[in-house]
Amino acid sequence: MTPIDPAGTVAVVGAGTMGQGIAQVALAAGHAVRLYDAAPGRAEEAARAIGARLGRLVDKGRLDAAGRDAALARLLPAARLAELADSALVIEAIVEQLDAKQKLFTELEQVVPDGCLLATNTSSLSVTAVAGALRLPGRFVGLHFFNPAPLLPLVEVVRGFATDPEAADRARATVAAWGKTPVACADTPGFLVNRLARPFYAEAFRVHEEGGADPATIDAVLRECGGFRMGPFELTDLIGQDVNNAVTRSVYEAFFHDPRFTPSLAQQRLVEAGLLGRKTGRGWFSYAEGAERPEPATAAPCEPPAEIGWHAEAPRVCAPLREMIEEAGIKVVRDRAPHEADWYMTLPDGAVLTLTGGEAATPGNGGPHIYFDLALDYRTCTRIALAASEKASARDVRAAVGLFQALGKSVSVIADVPGLIVARTVAMLVDFAEDAAGRGVASREDIDTAMRLGVNYPRGPLEWGREIGLDRVRGMLRGLAQDYPGGRYDPSLSLRRRAAVEESLL
């Protein structure tokens, strides 16, 4: 793969925040950059803003003055599209409207040479549709940078239906030469990150809508148990509820109302009320001056049991628990003749304590059951969520709470919602990723890279699936589908196939 010549000119059309960021990235790679915007004077204003940012880098010691001056000498605001005629690459970052983008690129084709690579930074429109109006659609690609472009490493390189493989390869090589991490993907709704991230928001919102837990508690469990950097409620407040909701609705519409992508009514109500998050002072949480963030629901201290029963072999993801329990001074009595293949623990009064299987505790079990949530790492996590069946007594719940508190965890007791919080979210993320890989949307390596770098997940979803075991992920989804019929939680064909292969190798 050969990138465009470093001596070649890169043109950026659209001088807003994203256009400025992309221009700065190209300047840092040594290119001459022409910056154009249809609004008179905006390109010159953007060039001054880029100069100010480069100046701040000099002040911080991240760039020397000579480097700044050389970059600014290569930055050339353009007043007319005709000034982009010598470009080797044009990247568009204008308004997210299909007709506007098609008109722009149709005009550009009359200006730039046939060998010029054309790219859109769209995050929501079809690359194929934008290229549909072009004379040479084969040279057209998507280059989806993440904001702020100078700082975030990931770039999705999107090949439209008519994109020539050579053009996609050249775009990917160019992005890599600029010091970014490119991931190649097909032109699918949401591309990679916005498509695969939907369950992170959707499952949390659904748990809240069903009265399972409040936003602060759900966020805390996903951060402190699941290892995510931010919870979905605080993250969408940061992004903007209108922006996040629009992406969700766009993907839902593009997939012809596939139930897996169903938007949240609660989020829609926030948007309708104008409660868009930080930018309006209130979203899921209040950002008014002096407002205090709600604390997550955390159980009061409880006495741990003196001993617990241990039945069958724990799944790999839960294996550290036995050693942790013994280290805490709690006796573990192993069942010498396990009467069930599935692993579980028993509390002093006989209640069953086990990892959620996806289904709710009450309808699916006759006796007292308490489910605990999936953790990224049970040793290092600082919070655990529990959900009890209606037949579990208050004494049983206190024993379960005390057990995990003895392991150094804060405990959130939530309502009996299927799959709790982390488990249902991760199961859906794994399934979405396996489905995308199976459909050839992207390579397995690029899928995990995209989700680690694009949304800072603690693990790539495919890697997470291997760690949990795809058969267990499939079981969690089937448990969810049992309680939520309608197709949303049906395991994808790709996941079922790979789980079957994994099972056959055991």
Which residues are catalytically annotated? 123, 144, 156, 194
Residue owning tokens 């979203």: 283
Which residues are CB-neighbours of 59 under 8 A, at least 6 positions away? none
User: Rounded to whole angstroms, how far apart are CA atoms 458 and 453?
Assistant: 10
Exposed / middle / buried, residue 215 (Cβ in 10 Å: 0-12, 13-18, 19+):
buried
Q: How many CB atoms lie within 10 A of CB 272?
A: 11
Helices 198-209, 422-438: crossing angle, 10 deg rounding: 150
| Cis, peptide link before residue 148, omega less than 30° from 0 | yes
Helices 232-239, 198-209: crossing angle, 10 deg rounding: 110
Which pair of structure tokens corresponds to residue 378? 């049970």
Residue owning tokens 């926030």: 270
Residue 215's Cβ-side half-sphere holds a number of Cα atoms within 13 Å equal to: 18
Q: What pairs with residue 9 in β-bridges?
A: 32, 87
Which residue type is seen at 490? Answer: D
Helices 215-224, 232-239: crossing angle, 10 deg rounding: 110
User: Rounded to whole angstroms, how far apart are CA atoms 420 and 411?
Assistant: 13
User: Rounded to whole angstroms, how far apart are CA atoms 150 and 423?
Assistant: 34
